[in-house]
């Protein structure tokens, strides 16, 4: 029975965005299986940020089936075919937004360990060892003792990624993976995620406004327009340059 359950879990969607009409059968809008990768293109004003936040469970999703008719109903995000409690969602879904969500006034190491200490006995076993391994893989060891405000955006984003991957999530939501990273750092990050996809079955949803992920193997490229997810062709050319971003810090520790 256990093998059958494991096989079913491996072949069924880990993350789904489903529209439930007032009448009729549910309509799947997005299905993501273990090890798959999807890129959501388009700028934030077109709804990319809102979609990623909805997939993370941070706000209700606004999405509907394709077509001109406004079908009454609502969209829901499912993990393993069902709605999950907040704690279960935290363990199953990793989220890396533009800033990384780090507290200033504290060290990088403090920020890496904080969510696991907060969740106490509910934190995934072995998180300390995984954080150490990820700090090495993402070249963070020299920055662990530094205060967040003394680091650059590259370190903050890699720290946020290490923190989320240490949960061993089933799904990783990663907005603008090119932001703040050098070419070498981007290559390191994308190679790490490729290994996680192939060896651990992590499913990845990228927010990719600039179409920068052409060198990275994604299964689908989607665009959210007017609340509808539409499949689009992959970018034909890599952007010549990435705009320099001086991103402000988000939080101040008390």
Q: Which domains does the chain have, with CATH numbers?
A: 8-99+172-252 (3.40.50.300)
Higher pLDDT, 238 or 93: 93
Q: What is the pLDDT of residue 250?
A: 42
Token pair recorded at residue 83: 């709605």
Q: What is the mean pLDDT of residues 195-214?
A: 84
Q: Is the pLDDT of residue 209 over 70?
A: yes
Is the predicted pLDDT of residue 245 greater than 50, yes or no? no
25 has pLDDT over 60: yes
pLDDT of 68 > 70? The answer is no
Question: Vertex 123, ends 118 and 124: CA angle to 5°?
Answer: 155
Q: Look at 52-56, 134-138, 198-202 and tell me which has the smallest mean pLDDT.
A: 52-56
CA distances from 218 to 31, 44, 47, 79, 204 (A): 14, 20, 20, 21, 9
């Amino acid at each position: 029975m256990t093998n059958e359950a494991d096989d079913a879990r491996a072949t069924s969607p880990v993350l789904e965005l489903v529209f439930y009409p007032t009448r009729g059968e549910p309509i799947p809008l997005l299905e993501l299986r273990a090890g798959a990768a999807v890129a959501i293109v388009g700028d934030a004003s077109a709804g990319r940020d809102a979609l990623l936040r909805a997939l993370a469970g941070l706000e209700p999703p606004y999405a509907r089936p394709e077509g001109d008719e406004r079908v009454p109903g609502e969209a829901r995000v499912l993990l393993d075919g069902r709605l999950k409690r907040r704690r279960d969602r935290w363990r199953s879904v990793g989220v890396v937004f533009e800033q990384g969500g780090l507290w200033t006034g504290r060290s990088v190491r403090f920020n890496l360990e904080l969510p696991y200490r907060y969740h106490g006995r509910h934190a995934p076993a072995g998180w300390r060892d995984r954080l150490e391994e990820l700090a090495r893989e993402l070249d963070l060891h020299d920055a662990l003792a530094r205060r967040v405000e003394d680091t650059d955006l590259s370190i903050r984003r890699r720290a946020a990624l290490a923190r989320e991957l240490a949960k061993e999530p089933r799904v990783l939501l990663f907005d603008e993976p090119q932001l703040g990273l050098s070419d070498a750092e981007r290559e390191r990050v994308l190679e790490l995620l490729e290994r996680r996809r192939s060896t651990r079955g992590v499913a990845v949803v990228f927010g990719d406004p600039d179409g920068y992920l052409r060198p990275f193997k994604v299964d689908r490229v989607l665009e959210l327009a007017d609340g509808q997810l539409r499949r689009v062709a992959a970018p034909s050319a890599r952007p010549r340059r990435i705009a320099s971003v001086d991103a402000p810090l988000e939080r101040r520790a008390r």
